[in-house]
Amino acid sequence: MRGLKPYLLYKTIEQAETQRGWLDDSAANLLAVSQAKTPNQWLLTRAQILSDQAHFTDPLTAIRSTVLWSNVTLWLVCAVGGFLAGLSVLGSANTPVNLLWVVLSLLGIPTLSLLIWACAMLLGKRSSEGGGLLGRFVQGLLKRFTHTPHIELFWQAWHQTTSASGAQRWLFSMLTHGFWLVALSFSVFSMAIAFSVKHYVFLWETTWLDPQTFVQIASFLSVIPAKLNIAMPDQALISQSGNVAVDAWQARSLWARWLIAVILVWGVLPRLFFFILSAWRWHQTTADLTPSTTDAYALACLARLKRAQARREPEAEPGLPDTWRSTTQAIALPHTSLDAVVLGIELRALPDWAKHWTSLGIVDNQSSREAVLQMLTERPPNKLLIYCDALQTPDRGTLRLIDNLQKFARHNQVFLMHANEGPHTQIWQKSLAKMGLSIIHSSEQDATQWLNATH
Say whether both 245 and 334 belong to one domain. Answer: no
350 plus 251 within the same structural domain: no
> Is the CB of residue 394 less than 8 Å from the CB of residue 427?
yes
Q: Which amino acid is at 80?
A: V
User: pLDDT-based confidence at 4, cuts 50/70/90?
Assistant: confident
Q: Are residues 226 and 277 in the same domain?
A: yes
Task: Give me the pLDDT at residue 334, please.
Answer: 37
Q: Indicate the range of 198-207, 235-244, 334-343, 434-443 predicted with least confidence.
A: 334-343
Domain of 374, in residue numbers: 323-452
Please determine, for residue 1, whether its predicted confidence score (pLDDT) is greater than 70.
no
> Domain end: 238, 262, 286, which one?
286
Where residue 338 sits, what CATH number does that domain have? 3.40.50
The pLDDT > 90 percentage for the chain reads: 20
Q: How confident is the model at residue 322 (pLDDT cuts 50, 70, 90)?
A: very low
CB atoms within 10 A of CB 402: 19
Is it the case that residue 329 has pLDDT exceeding 50? no
Least confidently predicted of 325-334, 343-352, 436-445: 325-334
Residue 232 lies in a domain: yes
Same domain, 368 and 230: no
Residues 213 and 111 in one domain: yes
The model's pLDDT over 149-184, given as tens digits with 9 standing for 90+, comes to: 577 778 778 878 887 778 888 888 999 999 999 999
| 230 contact partners, CB below 8 Å, separation of at least 6 | 257, 261
| Residues 282, 327 within the same domain | no
Q: Which pLDDT score is estimated for 137?
A: 61
* One domain, residues 432 and 350: yes
Closest among 181, 416, 207, 355 to 275, alpha carbons compared: 181
Residues 329 and 446 in one domain: yes
382 and 252 in a single domain? The answer is no
Residue 370 domain-assigned (yes or no): yes
Q: 69-90 pLDDT, tens per residue?
A: 888 999 999 999 999 999 999 9
Report the pLDDT value the prediction gives residue 247, as an integer from 0 to 100: 80
Angstrom distance (rounded) from CA 324 to CA 333: 6
The pLDDT assigned to 111 comes to 93
CA distances from 51 to 38, 60, 413 (A): 20, 10, 23
The region of weakest confidence among 52-56, 138-142, 311-315, 386-390 is 311-315
Q: Order of strands, edge to edge, in the sheet holding 340-345?
A: 358-363, 340-345, 383-389, 411-417, 440-441
Same domain for 276 and 156 = yes
Structure confidence by residue, pLDDT tens digits, 270-308: 999 999 999 999 998 888 788 888 787 888 888 888 888
* % of the chain with per-residue pLDDT over 70: 86
pLDDT of res. 328: 33
The last residue of a domain, from among 241, 268, 286: 286
pLDDT (0 to 100) of residue 181: 96
Radius of gyration over every alpha carbon of the chain, rounded to an integer in angstroms = 34
Q: Are residues 252 and 346 in the same domain?
A: no
Q: What is the pLDDT confidence band of residue 455, given thresholds at 50, 70 and 90?
A: low
Buried b (16+ CB within 10 A) or exposed e, 29-55: bbbbbbebeebbbbbbbbbbbbbebbe
Number of domains in the chain: 2
Name the most confidently modeled range: 49-63, 116-130, 261-275, 341-355: 261-275
Indicate whether 35 belongs to any domain: no
